[in-house]
Structure 1
């Protein structure tokens, strides 16, 4: 079963709106969409981190959540 691809059909404005929804009024669904949106990039970055890939991916996801919730 394929995961829903949201990268191809989301504009920059839609991504910004999603970030705002996830940060201003903590919205679990918006945060989950953001994580799915950036997961392919995080998987690729995790290859270059010297730790088990699952741990590296988890650390990158946590960093994204912290960044969004801080209101960067």
Structure 2
């Protein structure tokens, strides 16, 4: 994904609360989130959800 495409998705998620844009961002980061979840001392599913929640909050803060 190019930087321009990524920024367009972020803008859609921020301004229009576009669910599809947010899902595309989650899919983009999914491999990294799953890899990093191994290093967090909590159940894997909880770690993944926590990271997704933090990512969503970070994006929505603008």
Name the TM tier (shorter chain): over 0.9
Matched, 1:55 2:46: yes
- The alignment covers a number of residue pairs equal to 62
Unaligned segments of structure 2, at least 5 residues: none
Structure 1: which 4+ aligned runs deviate by more than 6 Å?
none
1:35 aligns with 2:26: yes
CA RMSD, Structure 1 to Structure 2 (Å): 0.7
Q: Gapped runs of 5+ residues in structure 1?
A: 1-9
- TM-score of the two chains, using structure 2 as the length reference: 0.94
Greater helix content: 2
Deviations 1:16-61 (A, max 9, x none): 1111111111101100111111011000111110001110000000
- Alignment TM-score, normalising by the size of structure 1: 0.82
